[in-house]
Structure 1
Amino acid sequence: MEEYTFLAPLLLTIGGLIIGAILKSLLKHSRLPYTVGLFAIGIFVGVLNRTGVFQSMPELHSAVNSVANINPDLILYLFLPILIFDAAYELNLHIFKKTLANATLLAAPGLVICMLLTGAFLMGIATFVPGLESWTWAFALMFGALISATDPVAVVALLHELKTSKRFSTLVDAESLLNDGTGIVCFMLFFGAYVSGETSHTSPLVTFIQEVGISTLLGFFLARVVIWFITRINSEEMVQNSVIILAAYLTFILSQYYLGVSGVIALVAFGLTVTYVGKPRLKPQVNTFMEHFWELLTYIANTLIFILVGIVIAEKVDFSWSALGILLLLYVALNLIRFAMIMMLYPVMKRLGYGLTKRESVILTWGGLRGALAMTLALMVSYTPAIPEDIRSQVLFFTAGIVTLTLCINATTMRALLNRLGLTHIPSARTMLEYRIEKSVRENSEKYLESLKKRDALEGANWNKVESYMTSRPQEPAKNPQNQAMLPEIRLRVLDKEKAVCRQIYEEGVISKVVFLRLMNSLDELYDHDGKYPLNMRHSIFKFCQRTDVLNNLRGLPYLQNWMTFYFRERITVVYDLGRGFIILQKESLKLLNDLTSSEWVTSEQQPVLEVLRAEINDNITRMGTFIGNLAENFPKAYGHALTVKSIRMLLSNERRTVRQMVNSGMLSEKDAERLLNDIDDRTDEINSFSHTFTASFLRWLFFIKKKKIYRV
């Protein structure tokens, strides 16, 4: 039996991953979410084990029992660091910053509102429903805290599968991350008293603020230490990922166990800091490796945790008809309470960030899934002898029931609700453009097929069979959009092109990381308006470039100007690099418009739309060209330095391309290529060595002070 005990966790892990792989393949074209399928399998396995089906298979029986009796702390400490960090790491920071206010409203006051209303509901029905006589306000609010926090694991997994709007999914994602932390803090305010047996004399509000503040600072500090370390081993992808994984676990364990604050909030702060500060400093190939690596870890964690939760529910929860009736009432009440909370905050939320529509409010209500986190907290309650036994069993049953109902009802009907509310509606202009693209692909395939039929080497092929593998003939939309409707859609295609080119020239080393981030940020700002703003509204780009006017205004003080020019040549180099990179993007956009003109994607009646876009792009090129010319005239020494740096970048970029071409042609092995590319990367890093000094950091900060303050100095 010792051998079986040793193998049980390993067998379960291997079996769970095999089941997950099979299920992922089976559900590829199904509308059933992957996580719901895993959860159902977990319940099925748990029921079979509970009814004695696995008694004749000791290895499997032991494995399932080991899961059913798992320590809830193990779930927290094993899975959450991976899942929380990955969710924070994948956030689109531009969108997150604009949704942060609304997400904070939902996660802080929103969660407290839900906690209070849930507690009041339980105490209300306890007066006339038998079986709830032992409930007190402390128990009711403790349960309200653990059940009000939406589970980031369940919510994020569902939104990724449904491919909802990036803005809305980021709001839900951010809310689930933040209220996950605040929910645990509120839960521990009540639960901690039963564990320690001591009553705190500190105000709950003060305790809450202290825990959130300490957790945030700890996560930020550890992230900065990790960033400092991994940027000094920038060519060691394996070591970097190992350090980040260890740091994520260290952050959670240090805050949750040793300091007694929120490990989740510390992890969120850690993940966001690594994403915002560290990610841009890593090389493109390192970021790609990290994204794939963390995607794999998250997939494994998601697969195991939903099967695990299903097994625990099936094995641990005792069923009764009276409790089932209360559970159904509670499920309805929780959805209504969440809707009421959102409606209370709606007047404020619709004015912040991207705003919030009434239809999105409905989805936000229905998307409040509960999952592994709620079950983990409920298991912690069930393992606490200081809490009355009937309260422990009811908390576990109610939590398991709510998790089951939200995953089986809310999650499975989310797609239909999105369609019903029109949140998956595709504009007519996009539909028409996609139709023309698909039509062009089909016609190109037909021409190529005809050329294949004429080849003697392919004579005798079953051409009917070959033709059946062609893309289906698209159906033309009934409605033909007007030019005004096509304009925003083509603008978005141009922005897509600019993003792709921006990533390409960054990966080739043509532009620096700083320039890459500024260009991408300007594109994100235009994306916010869904193509309704002209392409020449690049305020952030030109505003950044115009900051060099501060130096020009000091022309009357030659010694001071020379000193500042010497130390600010990095800034002028960045501005020049930004200008040249910006012009490259605009020229590539013009090429795209020329391709659209010669293709069938845009009709002759819609050619004026392309002319409008050409005018906007040419205006960008003219303005930036004029600015670069003025830069050369006003700061000749710094401009010469910028040209030198640019020439070095182009030289190194050419070396990098040459090495990759030699690898593709078979002239160079992967191992030799890696050595050469690392050498090129090291020389590339030397270009910006000044930007990491204290002097440069101080002067950059000084440079951002408004002109009025500089004149007073």
Structure 2
Amino acid sequence: MGHEAESNTSTEGSQIQDSLYRDEEKMEESANVAYLLTLGILLGLGLRELNKKTKFPYSPMVLTCGLLIGLLQSSLGYLGESASILSHMHPHLIVYVFVPVLLFESAFNCDWYIFKYQIVNILLLAGPGVGWGAILLGIVFKLFLFYSDEDMNWYQAFTLGSVLSATDPVAVVALLKELGASSAFNHLIEGEALLNDGVAMVFFIFFNKLSKAAAGIGGGVTFGGVLLNFFRNSIVGPVLGVVVGFFGALWARRIVGDDVEVGWLTFIFTYLTFYWAEFCFFKTSGLLAVVSLGLFWSAFGKTKIRSESEHAVHTVWSFVQYFCDTTVFLLVGMIVGTEVIEERYIYTSDYFRMILFYFFMILCRYLMVISFWPLLKRYGYPMSQPELIVFVYGGLRGALGLTLSLMVGCDQDLPPRFRHLSVFFTAGMAALTNLVNGTTCKALVNYLNMIENPVIKKRVYKRYLTDMIVNQEDTIKELEGDEHFAMADWNHVKSLVGSQQFLQEVVQLENEIKQIQGGNMSRISYEGLADTDTFGEVRYRVLRILKGLYYSQFEHGQCDEDSVRLLVESSDVALDHTGSILNIWEQLFNSFTSFSSIKYFFKVKEWTFLGEYAQQYITKHLGFVYDVTTTFISCANEVLTLQEHMPMNKNAVRLIMDEIRTEINKAELYLGTLTDTFPEVIRAIQTKRASHTVLMHQRHHLEENQKNGLVDDKEFNQLKSNIDARLVQLENHVFDWQIPTFHSFAMEFPIFTGVPKEELDTIIKSTYEKRYQTDEIIYEKGMTCQNIYIVQKGNVIDEVGSHQIKKGLGSLLSYVNLIGDGKCMTTSRAASETVLHSLNLNVLKSLMQKSEAFEQKIYVNSIEYLIKLYESQAGPLGQMEQKRLNIFLRQKAQFKKFDVHSNVEFMFGGYIIKGEIQSCIQDESEGIERYNEYCYVPPRENDFNVIKPLICLVFDDAIDVIKQDRLEQFNLENHEEVIEQRFSRIDVQQKYQQQEL
């Protein structure tokens, strides 16, 4: 009985395989497929290198290789078998796996400001433009190529027209970027291609349903159904993308220091958006949903990603985009190549029709664009005639069109002849447009002179090149004296670093400038150039610098994502109007909510239920306003420091810098009003920003210690997690708005840190409040000084010599009066309605005598005033920016006091606040060196003798300041004649050496 059961089981097993059974042959096939794809990427890398050297478009080369693999698969052995397996892959799989990545990456990396400005034109060309183009191409098939209803009916012709309306101008966009075409034009081409992929698929599905309905296949098509389907695909899909993008951005903002999680989050939401749109109850366009998701992330999501993770995310997406792009073109090429081998439904006449259709297709694209020309000129950036020609000519057909045609080819409900014609024409157009248009577009662009390259840009570029050649020669001369390079062949070095090529490029630029100006070229003047060109170029470069500084502030945690987005957009708006005076602040100001609405929320904040939300809104909004304003002021002031470094006409630079100063003054006036009106909120905001800055500094310090091996991985991860958790908590922290009492305010004031409570109480007892109206004098230079003030509300201007120092909430007026002889050393006036706390001068001087730490703080803080009051004695300290000066004094200077007849050493220099010194060694040429109060002491190896009681700062390191000779080297405009003379000598010398060789 048991044997019988075993026999039955064995018999059944021979008929039904075990659930764990796996076919070994299938495993080998899978391995071969993976191997072929790996070789395909390797082939792509080789073609990428070829593209760098020959500039031959990358995508056409990959597509051609795929076609060859498909055509030659019978002679490629097991690789050919793998190609055959891949060639029979269902085209839907290509759409589902690769296309979402390509669409999201393209949308994610677009410039949102330009895309937004061009959105009307993009929607016209990618929406009704695709529909109109599909109809025109369908008419060509039926009326001009004379295809009968047996080949394709009208609905099928329109279906194929939809497939051929999808463009993929990757090669053309890359070429235009390389040549320097305008970003606006590039975004118009790229944006149209980005959206028309999804729209083309919508029209493809629509016309395909009509063709099947006409053949009695599937359900009928009603007008209401058409409208509902169009609404679902064109509206619901994009809305879904925005919603998913919003929640994804919120999630990403909570991730701190985890590049892997952020990267995977963008991937997961990309595919989820596509599948939810296509297959869940939405039943809408997954492609449009993914495009919408990518655009949302471009506009709002990028700045939600922490700055430390942003670079990693972009790197990963660039890697995946390259993989998908290469794989798709390779796969589509192999599929089409295989179809050509097995083709039985294509006749010889179809090849002639295909070539004729190529010209009709370009003509139809031109008619489509011309149809919308009045609207295209009205909205967005105006398109020139050469750009119109390049736009039409650069409409390449690519991977998505081929994939759609393969989907037609797989649809067994359609006639075989039409299915094969779809693949045939789409493959033909992809091959012709990529191989012909893609490779000849550069010649067309050059022929049309589409890329504007004004003389001013050539001059600036020539100056950079000239300075680089001189700098290169200086570096070579410096290395020639280094014993570690004593055996180097310096002629060969100059050849390897490209010195001669740089020289030839400079000469070529000179000839081009002469040609443009009719041979009348001055080496160092801007004669022959319109002022608008020069000023426009300076504004262009200043605004680009500003954008870079904004991003730098964001990356270092000095401003939040909403602020940097608005600031960058303000620069983008200004870049569109470089021919006009800079008006950045107005653009920013118009984005702020009026004070009246804020005051309304201040009233509501006392209510029982709405109070908490009102308080959160006020804090968030005023924090945003304060963040934008202070970041703009900080970055604009940094631009001013670069004035001497810009190798352009100095008069033009000076005028544009005056425009920047005007914008800074507007922002500072607004900031003063903001601080006066809402001091309690500004205090909370400053507290939060200070906390964030400290945490970010800790984070960078920890990362630096790990890099240097001072912290092991376990300690690093533990400390980093703690800091990251505090950063997240800080974002949700609610601050107390109450104005502090002076006692608590003074306790937190930096100079009072460490002062005993009884001494602080003595100070507070002598304190009283004083109010001043706008422009009212607080004290004047030379008058008897009886009080020191702390700013409680408002702003104060301190006139220090020829300088003005603006002091706001929490500032002390004035440190320098505490070290004087009882007379005010500056003049101070209220810049707005101001409230001050008056502190008794004698009480503070008494505290200075009791506390050396307090005395040191007073003296160190006075340096800012002293170097401005006594500029001629300040030495290199007068050249330092205030921020760098403060850092230097606190980190690299020691506060010292010496009695008469003491010896003091200034190895790295110092600064005398009180007293007098003289050199112990007499110089035969200059006599005895003497330095007295408020004077910089240069570095000296010999000692000095104290002849009056000395209070000074002794520096522990050399002053880190750009010396004047280095500034002059940067100042190419005023010193270009010297640079040109040196350049000429280098040119002659290298030509002579070349002749000798």
Determine helix, strand or coil for the equivalent of 2:52. coil
- Quickly say closer, same or farther: Cα 1:234–1:454, change in 2 above 3 A: closer
Alignment partner of 1:401 is 2:428: yes
Task: Output one character per residue of 1:355-393: Cα deviation in whole Å (capped at 9) or x when no partner.
Answer: 222221111111211111111111122222221221122
Alignment partner of 1:514 is 2:558: no
> Separation in 2 of the partners of 1:151 and 1:294?
19
> Separation in 2 of the partners of 1:155 and 1:539?
38
Counterpart pick for 1:687 among 730, 733, 738: 730
Contact 1:8 1:66 (8 Å CA) reproduced: no
Instruction: Give the helix-richer structure, 1 or 2.
Output: 1
- Quickly say closer, same or farther: Cα 1:652–1:688, change in 2 above 3 A: same
Determine helix, strand or coil for the equivalent of 1:568. helix
Deviation at 1:587, TM superposition (A): 1.3
Deviation at 1:411, TM superposition (A): 1.1
Counterpart pick for 2:580 among 533, 558, 570: 533
> Separation in 2 of the partners of 1:554 and 1:53?
78
Q: What residue in structure 2 maps to residue 117 of structure 1?
A: 136
Alignment partner of 1:247 is 2:294: no
Q: What residue in structure 2 maps to residue 467 of structure 1?
A: 494
Q: Which runs of 5+ in 2 are unaligned?
A: 1-24, 735-997
Q: What residue in structure 1 maps to residue 633 of structure 2?
A: 583
Contact 2:623 2:682 (8 Å CA) reproduced: yes
Counterpart pick for 2:221 among 196, 200, 210: 200
> Separation in 1 of the partners of 2:271 and 2:254?
21
Q: What residue in structure 1 maps to residue 193 of structure 2?
A: 176
- Quickly say closer, same or farther: Cα 1:612–1:69, change in 2 above 3 A: same
Q: What residue in structure 1 maps to residue 650 of structure 2?
A: 607
Deviation at 1:64, TM superposition (A): 1.0
- Quickly say closer, same or farther: Cα 1:100–1:669, change in 2 above 3 A: farther
Deviation at 1:207, TM superposition (A): 2.4
Q: What residue in structure 1 maps to residue 358 of structure 2?
A: 331
> Separation in 2 of the partners of 1:243 and 1:650?
27
- Quickly say closer, same or farther: Cα 1:562–1:393, change in 2 above 3 A: closer
Contact 1:494 1:592 (8 Å CA) reproduced: no
Contact 2:254 2:728 (8 Å CA) reproduced: no
Aligned positions of 1:235-634 closer than 5 A: 235-258=257-280, 259-317=282-340, 318=343, 320-471=347-498, 472-473=502-503, 474-475=506-507, 476=510, 477-478=513-514, 479=517, 481=526, 482=529, 483-529=531-577, 531-545=578-592, 547-548=594-595, 550-551=597-598, 568-596=618-646, 601-602=647-648, 606-634=649-677
Determine helix, strand or coil for the equivalent of 2:53. coil
User: Percent identity at matched positions?
Assistant: 27
> Separation in 2 of the partners of 1:407 and 1:664?
47
- The structure that has the greater radius of gyration is 2
The two structures have a TM-score, normalised by structure 2, of: 0.64
> Separation in 2 of the partners of 1:239 and 1:500?
27
Instruction: Give the strand-richer structure, 1 or 2.
Output: 2
Deviation at 1:687, TM superposition (A): 3.4
Deviation at 1:677, TM superposition (A): 4.6
Deviation at 1:117, TM superposition (A): 1.1
> Separation in 2 of the partners of 1:60 and 1:657?
50
Determine helix, strand or coil for the equivalent of 2:159. helix
Deviation at 1:295, TM superposition (A): 0.5
Q: What residue in structure 1 maps to residue 36 of structure 2?
A: 12
Determine helix, strand or coil for the equivalent of 1:583. helix
> Separation in 2 of the partners of 1:688 and 1:143?
54
Task: Output one character per residue of 1:440-496: Cα deviation in whole Å (capped at 9) or x when no partner.
Answer: 111011112112222334223211111113342222342455354222112222122
> Separation in 2 of the partners of 1:66 and 1:497?
53
> Separation in 1 of the partners of 2:249 and 2:620?
22
> Separation in 1 of the partners of 2:447 and 2:713?
52
Deviation at 1:655, TM superposition (A): 2.5
Q: What residue in structure 2 maps to residue 71 of structure 1?
A: 90
Counterpart pick for 1:45 among 66, 69, 76: 69
Alignment partner of 1:185 is 2:202: yes
> Separation in 2 of the partners of 1:668 and 1:426?
52
Counterpart pick for 1:22 among 39, 43, 46: 46
Q: What residue in structure 2 maps to residue 706 of structure 1?
A: none
Contact 2:253 2:306 (8 Å CA) reproduced: no
Determine helix, strand or coil for the equivalent of 1:369. coil
Determine helix, strand or coil for the equivalent of 1:489. helix
Deviation at 1:639, TM superposition (A): 2.2
Number of corresponding residues = 677
Q: What residue in structure 1 maps to residue 958 of structure 2?
A: none
Contact 2:62 2:330 (8 Å CA) reproduced: yes
Deviation at 1:155, TM superposition (A): 6.2
- Quickly say closer, same or farther: Cα 1:66–1:614, change in 2 above 3 A: same
Task: Output one character per residue of 1:552-573: Cα deviation in whole Å (capped at 9) or x when no partner.
Answer: 6999999799996785133223
Larger RCO of the pair (alpha carbons < 8 Å, separation 6+)? 1
Contact 1:35 1:154 (8 Å CA) reproduced: yes
Task: Output one character per residue of 1:631-656: Cα deviation in whole Å (capped at 9) or x when no partner.
Answer: 22222212222222232233234334
Deviation at 1:256, TM superposition (A): 2.4
- Quickly say closer, same or farther: Cα 1:155–1:208, change in 2 above 3 A: farther
> Separation in 2 of the partners of 1:347 and 1:210?
30
- Quickly say closer, same or farther: Cα 1:94–1:442, change in 2 above 3 A: same
Deviation at 1:665, TM superposition (A): 4.7
Code of the aligned partner of 1:626: L
Task: Output one character per residue of 1:49-100: Cα deviation in whole Å (capped at 9) or x when no partner.
Answer: 2xx322xx2x212111012212111111111111111111111111111111
Contact 1:536 1:619 (8 Å CA) reproduced: no
The two structures have a TM-score, normalised by structure 1, of: 0.89
Code of the aligned partner of 1:14: T
Code of the aligned partner of 1:627: Y
Contact 2:175 2:442 (8 Å CA) reproduced: no
Q: What residue in structure 2 maps to residue 135 of structure 1?
A: 152
Which range moves more in the overlay, 515-524 or 532-541? 532-541
Contact 2:241 2:290 (8 Å CA) reproduced: yes
> Separation in 2 of the partners of 1:627 and 1:522?
17
> Separation in 1 of the partners of 2:575 and 2:557?
25
Code of the aligned partner of 2:48: K
